[in-house]
């Protein structure tokens, strides 16, 4: 994030940057730093290993005085080099006259580093980023170029993705910002400007911004800004957009909850309600999707549906795939890990609908899969939670989850909203392609019942905490589910891994006997999703018998009234009966709460687990 504004105005530049970085901490939180000028010829840089709170403490101790209001700051998620103070951004040139913060990856940094090293440049960090200030320094020295010309020259040498902010002692009242691949926006205030990775960072100060395009750079002073294409110096397009200031509203407070994760799980009933609101009419059994209207004809022609997403969003797409397949007149759907999408190279054409699913809307792998599909003229639809995010802006049809900000790194309410929105999109597509359908009505009716049923699952919180207390001693877990709840098992295992750091594997229950069963003994428990489903329930019970015969402890999520499961499982968490295809929406909640309570008992950093970031903006 960068800030520049009229000195002596209401905003202290250091505080503006700290507040903005705190809002961007979801992108990474292993080290942080700021650079500014304090009347000396060199740039002053303060950096720490750890979170923004550590940087805040350092700033409180040092009480930095800024002589110019231009200031840049960064919170890091390590790609190259361990998360320590030296590798934290900003990085500077040999003379500490240039400071740079960077998101993305410079793929040719090794060659550049060797070349610059030959020319006598001294590197102190292990990062890819450090080549940027040195490249600018070289351009500035060799051709006595201006600050702007030097940055342009340096950017041309970079291969990879970047959003960069640069300060230079030649013009201490200016920030230069540029991007390729990684998001960057310029926030417009009154005699003050902000540059940041996303609107979250600046929504406290302004709701007007310009999203820079790939290949653009902006030169910002307190008097104004200019946008250029850094390849040829031509003028950039500068469309001012107003973003939704509700991003900043009270949703992002923990309130009565100890952690954001628990708060977000507890929001499930309203999340389902909001995902359906204005879309599903529970009286007429119809689905209206304003966003889809303009594309109705194209949607009717769609022959192939593909999902591309990562992590939890990918598991939501696996769940959604079953709903798509179940509804009439939809030929089926394929789900891909976004990071693998381009290697499969399925035959994409203008009759293909690519659905990108992403809470943040900024995930680099998902964005690249989307760009790949666009090359082949596919129609693109994004199921996204953060409005104005990169994916929302790049797809033909942005469809919002309306789940409210998700702050905890472990995704919980986003999964629920994504599955509900996928169901709503599937219903609309099925309606567009066919006529009346009893099956659709059944799904719609049950979606209307879900908020109440989810509230009942949440009410079983104490039972789940008790099961977590008994089970937290184990070092490994197998998560099993069949058919609709195979994705739930995968998601349950992911939740446990990421916040408790306990090893867990998700499997389709039927696969267990083909290998993983070898792991099972009385110290290797299984968390099974064994809800009522006329097609697979009996088979799941047989799979659990096989585990029991080997002494494996069993925790089961089952449907209320099921007595057979009580004979098999050591602990049972009951959920209300629902349609099998919608059961993941209920069954995932015990998985989320179980992981949460185990992690609390293990005293983990619940909302910001180690090594992770809320939004993964590198491929």
Q: Binding to ligand F6R by residue 498, rule CB under 6 A?
A: yes
616 forms part of the interface with ligand F6R (CB under 6 A): yes
**String of DSSP letters for 215-253:** TEEEEEETTEEEEEETTT-PBPP--EEE--GGGGSGGGS
Check binding of 363 to ligand F6R (CB under 6 A).
yes
The Cα–Cα gap between 575 and 590 comes to 9
CB atoms inside a 10 Å sphere around CB 514: 9
Q: How far is the CB of 380 from ligand F6R (least distance, A)?
A: 15
Residue 469 has φ and ψ, to the nearest 5°, of -60, -40
Of the ranges 199-207, 304-312, 368-376, 504-512, which one interacts with ligand F6R (CB under 6 A)? 304-312
Nearer to ligand F6R, 54 or 78 (CB): 78
Single residue of 313, 430, 583, 608 touching ligand F6R by CB under 6 A: 313
- CB closer to ligand F6R out of 1 and 613: 613
Q: What residues form DSSP beta bridges with 527? A: 479, 555
Nearer to ligand F6R, 3 or 315 (CB): 315
Among 358, 485, 488, 617, binds ligand F6R (CB under 6 A): 358
Which segment (78-86, 132-140, 354-362, 538-546) binds ligand F6R by CB under 6 A? Answer: 354-362
Among residue numbers 552 through 581, which ones bind ligand F6R (CB under 6 A)? Answer: none
Provide the minimum distance between the beta carbon of 537 and ligand F6R in the complex, in angstroms, as a whole number. 28
Element containing residue 466 per DSSP (H, E): helix 461-471
- Give me the least distance between CB of 618 and ligand F6R, in Å please: 11
Residues found in the chain: 619
Q: Which of 514, 495, 521 is nearest to 506 (CA)?
A: 495
Min separation Cβ 447 and ligand F6R, Å? 22
User: How many chain residues touch ligand F6R (CB under 6 A)?
Assistant: 15
- The piece of 94-102, 246-254, 359-367, 369-377 that touches ligand F6R (CB under 6 A) is 359-367
Task: Return the number of the residue (128 or 491) whose C-beta is nearest ligand F6R.
Answer: 491
Establish if 606 lies at the interface with ligand F6R (CB under 6 A). no
CA dist., res. 590 & res. 465, Å (int): 10
Instruction: Output the smallest distance, CB 93 to ligand F6R, in A.
Output: 34
Is residue 410 a contact residue for ligand F6R (CB under 6 A)?
yes
Q: How far apart are CA 439 and CA 427, in angstroms?
A: 10
CA distances from 591 to 142, 485, 498 (A): 60, 12, 13
Nearest alpha-carbon partner for 175 in 194, 191, 161: 194
In 3D space, the residue among 68, 136, 79 whose CA is nearest the CA of residue 104 turns out to be 79
* Cis omega (within 30 of 0) for bond into 236: no
CA nearest neighbour of 187 among 168, 174, 167, 206: 206
Name the minimum Å distance from CB 408 to ligand F6R: 8
SS3 category, 399: strand
Range in contact with ligand F6R (rule: CB under 6 A) among 7-15, 52-60, 310-318, 582-590: 310-318
Phi first, then psi, for residue 486 (nearest 5°) are -65, -50
Cα Rg of the chain (Å, integer): 26
Taking CB under 6 A as the criterion, the residue among 11, 103, 339, 411 binding ligand F6R is 411
Structure tokens at 526: 């299984």
Opening angle at CA 41, ends 36 and 43, nearest 5: 25
Residue nearest to ligand F6R (CB): 311
Among 366, 430, 592, 608, binds ligand F6R (CB under 6 A): 366
Region near ligand F6R per CB under 6 A, out of 356-364, 468-476, 538-546, 553-561: 356-364
Q: Which residue ranges make up the site for ligand F6R (CB under 6 A)? A: 310-313, 358-360, 363, 366, 410-411, 494, 498, 615-616
């Amino acid at each position: 994030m960068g800030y520049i504004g009229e000195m002596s105005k209401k905003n202290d530049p250091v505080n503006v940057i700290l507040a903005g970085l705190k809002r961007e901490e979801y992108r990474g939180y292993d080290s942080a730093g700021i650079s500014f000028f304090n009347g000396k010829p060199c740039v002053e840089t303060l950096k720490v290993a750890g979170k923004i709170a550590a940087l805040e403490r350092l700033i409180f101790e040092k009480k930095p005085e800024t002589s110019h209001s231009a200031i840049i700051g960064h919170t890091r998620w390590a790609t190259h080099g361990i998360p320590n103070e030296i590798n934290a951004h900003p990085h500077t040139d040999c003379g500490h006259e240039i400071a740079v913060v960077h998101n993305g990856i410079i793929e040719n940094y090794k060659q550049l580093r060797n070349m610059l090293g030959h020319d006598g440049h001294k590197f102190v960090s292990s990062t890819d980023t450090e080549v940027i200030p040195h490249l600018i320094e070289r351009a500035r020295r060799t051709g006595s170029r201006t600050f702007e010309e030097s940055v342009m020259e340096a950017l041309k040498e970079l291969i990879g993705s970047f959003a960069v902010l640069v300060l230079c002692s030649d013009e201490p009242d200016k920030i230069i910002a540029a991007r390729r691949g990684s998001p960057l926006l310029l926030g417009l205030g009154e005699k003050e400007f902000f540059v940041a990775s996303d609107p979250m960072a600046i929504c406290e100060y302004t709701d007007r911004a310009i999203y820079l395009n790939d290949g653009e750079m902006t030169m910002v002073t307190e008097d104004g800004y200019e946008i250029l294409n850094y390849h040829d110096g031509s003028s950039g397009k500068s469309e001012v957009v107003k973003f939704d200031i509700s991003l900043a509203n009270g949703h992002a407070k923990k309130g009565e909850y100890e952690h954001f994760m628990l708060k977000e799980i507890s929001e499930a009933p309203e999340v389902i309600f909001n995902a359906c609101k204005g879309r599903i009419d529970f009286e007429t059994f119809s689905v209206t999707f304003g966003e889809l209207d303009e594309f109705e004809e194209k949607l009717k022609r769609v022959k192939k549906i593909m999902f591309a997403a990562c992590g939890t969003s990918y598991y939501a797409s696996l769940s959604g795939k079953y709903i798509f397949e179940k509804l009439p007149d939809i030929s089926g759907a394929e789900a891909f890990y976004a990071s693998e999408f381009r290697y499969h190279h399925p035959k994409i054409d203008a009759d293909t609908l690519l659905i990108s699913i992403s809470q943040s809307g900024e995930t680099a792998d998902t964005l690249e899969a989307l760009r790949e599909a666009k090359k082949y003229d596919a129609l693109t639809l994004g199921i996204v939670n953060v409005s104005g995010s990169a994916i929302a802006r790049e797809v033909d049809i942005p469809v919002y989850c309306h789940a409210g900000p998700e702050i905890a790194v472990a995704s919980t309410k986003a999964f629920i909203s994504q599955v509900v929105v996928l169901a709503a999109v599937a219903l609309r597509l099925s309606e567009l392609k066919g006529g009346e359908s009893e099956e659709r009505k059944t799904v719609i009716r049950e979606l209307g019942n879900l908020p109440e049923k989810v509230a009942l699952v949440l009410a079983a919180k104490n039972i789940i905490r008790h099961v977590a207390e008994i089970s937290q001693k184990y070092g490994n877990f197998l998560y099993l589910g069949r058919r609709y709840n195979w994705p739930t098992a995968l998601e349950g295992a992911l939740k446990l891994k990421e916040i408790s750091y306990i090893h867990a594997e998700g499997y389709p229950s039927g696969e267990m006997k083909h290998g993983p069963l070898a792991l099972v003994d009385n110290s290797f428990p299984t968390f099974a999703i064994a809800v009522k489903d006329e097609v697979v329930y009996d088979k799941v019970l047989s799979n659990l018998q096989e585990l029991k015969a080997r002494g494996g402890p069993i925790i089961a999520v089952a449907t209320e009234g099921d007595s057979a499961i009580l004979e098999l499982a050591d602990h049972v968490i009951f959920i209300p009966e629902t349609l099998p295809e919608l059961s993941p929406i209920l069954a995932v909640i015990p998985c989320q709460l179980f992981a949460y309570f185990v992690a609390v008992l293990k005293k983990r950093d619940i909302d910001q687990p180690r090594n992770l970031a809320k939004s993964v903006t590198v491929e």
